[in-house]
Amino acid sequence: MFLKIKQEHRTFLRVLITYGMHIWVIIFVCNVVIFYSIRFFINASTTRTADVNTPVEITVSPPVATEIPTPVPTAAGPVINLSFSLPGIGTNGGNLMPSHVERDVTVHLYNSDANISDKVVKPAYTIKTQAVYDSDPNSSTYTYFVNKYVDLGAIANGNYQISIQTPQSLRQLMRSSDSRDPGGQLFDLSDKRFTILPPQKMITGDVYPLPNGDNIMDINDYNLLVNCYNIQINSSKCANAAPADLDDNGVSDGIDYNIMLSNFRTLLSLGYSVPTIPVPPSDIPIKISPSTTPTVPKISQAPIKPPWNGAFGTIFIFILIVITMGSIAFAVFKFHLLNIFLHKKSETEKTIQSPAAEESVDKTNSSEIIEKTYYLKKVSVDTQKNGVWVTLADDAGITTGFYPKTDISDGFVKIKGTLRNDQEYKQYIYITELETED
């Protein structure tokens, strides 16, 4: 038994030495090449010379000038950080490039026990300031109007209710989290205290009387906007078309009309009385200017170059590839791996049968049928799909649509279609029937 085990050990060593000698030699050469390559790289990357009789020269980099931060002005009183958004400006189909990036803002401070709903009650303090449109897609306040440093001045320390107002908007009181509380949220505005106000969604449409409205939205505001539709701008009924441009794209059109209707609905849900809106006259042509969506460039990091010398790195990689390929070729040749692989592949191909093709089912499209009246505006012609991409605006907002024909024009239409998904437009309405309303 002992002699048999000893003989098996000798056979194993003989096989290992006979068939594995070349592999061990290749691995040894690889280790030597890698070791001396790394050593050469370390020595080559250090640019210093030192002789026995020559002192070492040390190069000292000149001092780098440190930027002095811009000093923050000393506040005369409490400081607030405010931000707000406007309907029709920003994301969700709104105008991403408003004509006016700065807007006047009025901050009203009321005493803690003041009844804001009483029109006779006046604010304790009124502060005039400005807010700037945030066009940075990476910012947390993207498409908001922001002023991060509003000095309230020398006001008495205490708790205040705060409201803000901007041209075309109603006065927006900052409410508390308790919906049953009719008053506003109280803010502690002590001396030089910094307070971040919650972002506000303004209600726009207060455009009458000119120039700054009266903090009331009624039929007068509606009439001013209707009288300043595109073709009516030069008429005597339109004294100033700028206030009627609620989405700030330079044109008073159907989008501004729908923004006002949507804000009337918001006021109605909050318990305010709103006027009965008549049907818009069909003889007034409405032209909707498409909002331009800026293309946000993708941020890509520059590739990090290896610190070694280019020529040496190329030679090292070439040697490593040659050694690796040689090792693989030797192993395949020595152990007949190629023949085994080809033999198994041919047997596998005989047994594999092509599976029956399954019928593809489009699960992205919805079976919901939509029948509704919209204001339609052509956006672009799709030559591949032989149709037109459009925007559909109503009092609920703006929706993308596709009509498989090209003979359409802007105006109020009654459509019938279904919801679908598209990689470019995401969800849209595929219009199957379209009827123009005269």
Least reliable range by pLDDT among 12-26, 60-74, 164-178: 60-74
Task: Kindly tell me if the per-residue pLDDT of 408 is higher than 90.
Answer: no
Q: Bridge-partner residues for 420, per DSSP? A: 428
Tell me if the bond preceding 98 is cis, omega within 30° of 0.
no
373 part of a folded domain: yes
Q: What is the pLDDT of residue 49?
A: 46
In a domain, 61, yes or no: no
pLDDT the model gives residue 96: 93
Same domain? 109 vs 198: yes
pLDDT band (50, 70, 90) for residue 67 = low
Residues 133 and 150 in one domain: yes
CATH number at residue 428: 2.40.50.140
Give domain status of residue 139, yes or no. yes
Is residue 28 pLDDT above 90, yes or no? no
Pick the last residue of a domain from 238, 269, 300: 269
222, 250, 269 — which closes off a domain? 269
Q: Where are the alpha helices (DSSP H) in 228-367?
A: 254-269, 310-335, 337-351
157 and 252 assigned to the same domain: no
Beta carbons within 8 Å of 16's beta carbon, 6+ residues apart: none
15 assigned to some structural domain: no
- Furthest-apart CA atoms within the chain: distance in Å: 120
Q: Is the pLDDT of residue 293 over 60?
A: no
Q: Do 286 and 253 meet the contact criterion of CB atoms below 8 Å apart?
A: yes
354-370 pLDDT, tens digit each: 444 444 444 445 567 88
Task: Decide if 332 is inside a domain.
Answer: no
What average pLDDT does the chain have? 78
Residues 174 and 260 in one domain: no
In a domain, 176, yes or no: yes
3-state helix, strand, coil in the chain (%, to 5): 25, 25, 50
Asked whether residue 299 is domain-assigned, the answer is no
Query: Residue 182 maps to which CATH number?
Result: 2.60.40
Residue 410 scores a pLDDT above 50: yes
Note whether 241 and 161 are same-domain residues.
no
Asked if the structure places residue 282 within a domain, the reply is no
CA 172/CA 152 separation, integer angstroms:
18
**Mean pLDDT along residues 393-413:** 87
Residue 137 has pLDDT above 90, yes or no: yes
pTM of the full structure? 0.51
How many domains does the chain divide into? Answer: 3
Q: Mark whether 103 and 162 lie in a shared domain.
A: yes
Quick one: which of 399, 392, 397 has its CA closest to 374? Answer: 392
Residues spanned by the domain of 104: 79-202
pLDDT of the residue at 362: 45
Q: How far apart are CA 75 and CA 150, in angstroms?
A: 9
Residues 167 and 226 in one domain: no
In angstroms, the Cα distances linking 43 to 46, 47, 187, 314 are 6, 8, 65, 18
**195 lies in the same domain as 235:** no
pLDDT at 192 over 50: yes
Which residues on neighbouring strands pair with residue 392, listed in sequence order?
376, 399
173 and 224 within one domain: no
* Same-domain pairing of 188 and 222: no
pLDDT tens per residue, range 77-123: 999 999 999 999 987 778 999 999 999 999 999 999 999 888 899 99
Instruction: Identify the domain boundary among 202, 227, 256.
Output: 202
Same domain, 108 and 170: yes
- Token pair for residue 184? 């506003």
Quick check: 283 pLDDT over 50? no
119 and 83 share one domain: yes
